[in-house]
Chain A
Amino acid sequence: QITLKESGPTLVKPTQTLTLTCTVSGFSLSTSGVGVGWIRQPPGKALEWLALIYWDDDKRYSPSLESRLAISKDTSKNQVVLTMTNMDPVDTATFYCAHFLVTGDRDEAFDVWGQGTMVTVSS
């Protein structure tokens, strides 16, 4: 059974860097065709796609946030890490990580999601 769980601070100050960890189980981050993505959702608002990392360490970022984001993985720890710099109160959101597969040369949709972790940006 595939599971993902997000962890990190619940409160960060403006201008600080946010670091979130997604701990996965039921699959290996080094298995060919596997990927993990990050998505956020401000309170009462829509989902926003942030970043992806693939089994081969290829990465993709939202064009509007690329300068502030970095995604990485530690296969030995079964963890995917997302950092977001220069946090602002408008970045207050629930952050989700999600699993997806690559079949052939195409990504599939996010099929299993973590429960999400709420991050508030406030001084």
Chain B
Amino acid sequence: DIQMTQSPSTLSASVGDRVTITCRTRLSISGWLAWYQQKPGKAPKLLISKASVLESGVPSRFSGSGSGTEFTLTISSLQPDDSATYYCLQYNSYSNSFGQGTKVEIK
């Protein structure tokens, strides 16, 4: 069972800031990692798959990078609508697993 370590657990930033969230795993998952955005009371929304592939309709300020054991989600210029909790998901192994989430707050 692959454990995902996501950091930070919370972050507070201003509109226009560059924001970075990291997911790490002890075992390589190649590029089989996705990022989701979840707003209160809503289902998660897929932002990025295969570590860096932006889903259709997702703003270009979101980007993903990494491979193997370390992955990053970057928001290049934080917007008020980006206030949410973000989760990584590894789908490389027999069983999938999510990170613990990062709550992004706007200052």
Interfacial chain A residues near B101, Cβ < 8 Å: 46-47
In Å, the complex CA distance between A114 and B42 comes to 9
Q: Which residue of A lies closest to B38 (CB)?
A: A47
Interfacial chain B residues near A39, Cβ < 8 Å: 98
Interfacial chain B residues near A113, Cβ < 8 Å: 43-45
- On whether A37 and B95 interact (CB within 8 A), knowing A46-B87, A109-B46, A110-B46, the answer reads no
| Binary interface encoding of chain A residues 100-123 relative to chain B, with 1 for a CB under 8 A from any of its CBs, else 0 | 000000111111011110000000
**Closest beta carbon of chain A to B33's beta carbon, Å:** 8
Q: Find residues 1-60 in chain B having any chain A CB closer than 8 Å to their own CB.
A: 1, 32, 34, 36, 38, 43-46, 49-50, 55
- On whether A116 and B1 interact (CB within 8 A), knowing A49-B96, A63-B95, A107-B91, the answer reads no
**Are B91 and A109 in contact, CB atoms less than 8 angstroms apart?**
yes
**Are A116 and B43 in contact, CB atoms less than 8 angstroms apart?**
yes
Please give the residue numbers on chain B whose beta carbons come within 8 Å of chain A beta carbons, in ascending order. Answer: 1, 32, 34, 36, 38, 43-46, 49-50, 55, 87, 89, 91, 94-101
